[in-house]
Amino acid sequence: MKLALVGATGMVGREILEILLERNINITELTLVASENSYGKEILYNGKKYKVISLSELLNKEIDLALFSAGSKTSRIWAPKLAEKGCKVIDNSSYWRMNPKHKLIVPEINGIELLQEDLIIANPNCSTIQLVMALYPLHKIFSVKRVVVSTYQSVSGTGRKAVEQLENEEAGVYTEKAYPHQIYRNALPHCDDFIENGYTKEEMKLTNETKKILDTNIDVVATAVRIPVLAGHSESANITFEDEFELDEVRKALNKMPGVKVIDDVRNNKYPMPINGSKKDDVFVGRIRRDFTQEKTLNLWIVADNLRKGAATNTVQIAEYLINHNLV
């Protein structure tokens, strides 16, 4: 397996390297690629130092699989160039997600859709992944009709500059900002750019990507909020079903879902929190309760490490699926 990682020096790229090692992916040749600021840097992986190269250099190599985590502009230009050479690309950016010619994959849900001819495969947005992981087992039984979701998203979802802003503000140092306002001791109802309908791109990703992954008939409306947490996104989801449900059935379905763990013991103050989900690959679900104001409606609290299952882990799981099914 000749594997390339594009965006190797970024937060998600570093996480991908950790997960490749953790999951013992058999790589015969590893190529690390990053922006020109990182050319020539050395990165240690599995006891060996690898020198970071450019995308132009990558095109001269024979690569089986490329994992992209370098932003939409890079993916738009370079993913097709690699695909033309027969290299499969798993892309973390938003560029290919809603393209009808490319699949948007969460392996536990729709990995079975992947075929030999799929050369560019999209990884969903971090907040979408944890939402659909909780919705999927319930949708199969009760048929999800509508979801109202509010997200509480960590600064690492924005990147290293945002992490530095939070840490600097906490230390009383005010430098260049990733956000238009202070994030320390604050909450910003502003994830990504605002668009004409008054929602942000992040909010519309939750709507559009959920429809593409699960079912076009599911209505999703979101409010996405950035909070002063380093890692781990949380979501409050209000879910209306076509069919009636019992809470025991809901818990049973969630417990059976691979990659989901239920933590729901409020009498003992046990419920999912970002601090518990840090560096873990599961999606954690708790605060499972009926909405007493609306028929056939459920409330859930959903937490996941946005750098792991929300990005890096899901990417590596797609790679594993391709390898295990001889699709690469």
Active-site pick, 87, 102, 126, 191? 126
What pTM did the predictor assign? 0.96
Q: Is 126 a catalytic residue?
A: yes
In this structure, are residues 158 and 226 in contact, taking their beta carbons and an 8 Å threshold?
yes
CA dihedral of residues 137, 140, 142, 147 (deg, nearest 10) = 70
DSSP secondary structure of 95-140: TTTT-TTS-B--HHHHGGG--TT--EEEPPPHHHHHHHHHHHHHHH
Residue 37 confidence class, pLDDT cut points 50, 70, 90: confident
Give the DSSP H or E segment for 211: helix 201-213
Query: pLDDT of 56-67, one tens digit each?
Result: 999 999 999 999
Q: What is the average per-residue pLDDT within 271-297?
A: 97
Per-residue pLDDT band at 174 (split at 50, 70, 90): confident
Please state the CATH superfamily assignment of the domain spanning residues 127-305 in this structure: Dihydrodipicolinate Reductase; domain 2 (3.30.360.10)
Confidence of residue 38 (pLDDT cuts 50, 70, 90): confident
Is 233 among the residues known to form the active site?
Answer: yes
Q: Where are the domains of the chain?
A: 2-124+311-324, 127-305
Q: Which of 87, 102, 139, 233 is catalytic?
A: 233
Considering the chain, what is the average pLDDT of its residues?
97
CATH architecture of the domain with range 2-124+311-324: 3-Layer(aba) Sandwich (3.40)
